[in-house]
Structures are given as C-alpha cells and as structure tokens.
Amino acid sequence: MTRTRLTNRERFEIESLIAQHGDETELGWQYHDGWSDEKVSKHCNATQKTISALRGKTFGNLASHASRSSGKMFEVFEKLEILERRLDALENQYTAPESASNGTFLTQGAN
C-alpha cells in the first residue's frame, strides 16, 4: 500500500527526482521521455495523486495538460498570422505610392 503523507525529507527527495527528470517550458512542466507522475510515484512509493499535487505545487501544471488546448490555439494563431500577412500585403498594394506619368504620386484606387 502506498502512503500519502510525506516527511519533509521525502518531499525534498521527490521534488529533486522530478527536477532531475523534467524541464520547465512555456506551457508548463514537461517530463523527459519515459518519466511521468506515475513513474515518480512508483519509484518513491507514494500515490500518483500525492506526486501530482506536489509536482503541481512546486513545478506547475504539466505541459501536456496545457497542450490539449494549445494545439487548437496554435492553429488559431497560425491562421491569424497568415491573415495578418495577407492584410499587410493588401494594405501595401492599395496604399503604396505609385509614380504617375506627370511625376506626382497617386494612391491606387483613388479617384
């Protein structure tokens, strides 16, 4: 049976193990390949719930939890960037000065 109460020493050892096998990213905590809260819990003889709570408090949410919505957000931002580039191109096309035959500048589309 796994325990849920941790001593300060156990907490320190678990936090050290988590820190050793992961990195902080923009999206949250990311374990290295093969590591997870579950693996840490088995290695330290603690419940996965205890490890998840400790990791969340010390290192933040898992990047994989954040990335569930970030995939969609990435798509939205990517499409937004494409639209911004198209809008810039249109603005440049219709507002860029062009030389007229008499040496004056006209804005395309202006009467």
The ranges assigned to domains in the chain are 8-64, 65-97
Q: Which two tokens stand for residue 40?
A: 């840490």
Phi, psi of 22 (to 5 degrees): -170, 175
Cα gap 34→86, rounded to integer Å: 43
Handedness of CA 82, 84, 85, 87 (dihedral sign): positive
Handedness of CA 15, 40, 33, 75 (dihedral sign): negative
Q: Calculate what percentage of the chain has a pLDDT beyond 70.
A: 72
Q: Which residue has the higher pLDDT, 100 or 57?
A: 57
Q: Calculate what percentage of the chain has a pLDDT beyond 90.
A: 41
Q: Is the pLDDT of residue 11 over 70?
A: yes
What's the pLDDT at 67? 46
Digit-coded pLDDT (tens) for 53-96: 999 999 998 987 554 445 666 677 678 888 888 888 888 888 86
100, 87 Cβ separation under 8 angstroms: no
Cα gap 41→18, rounded to integer Å: 10
Cα gap 2→49, rounded to integer Å: 11
Task: Give the pLDDT band of residue 2 (cuts 50, 70, 90).
Answer: low
- Going by C-alpha positions, the residue among 35, 21, 29 that lies closest to residue 57 is 29
What's the pLDDT at 104? 55
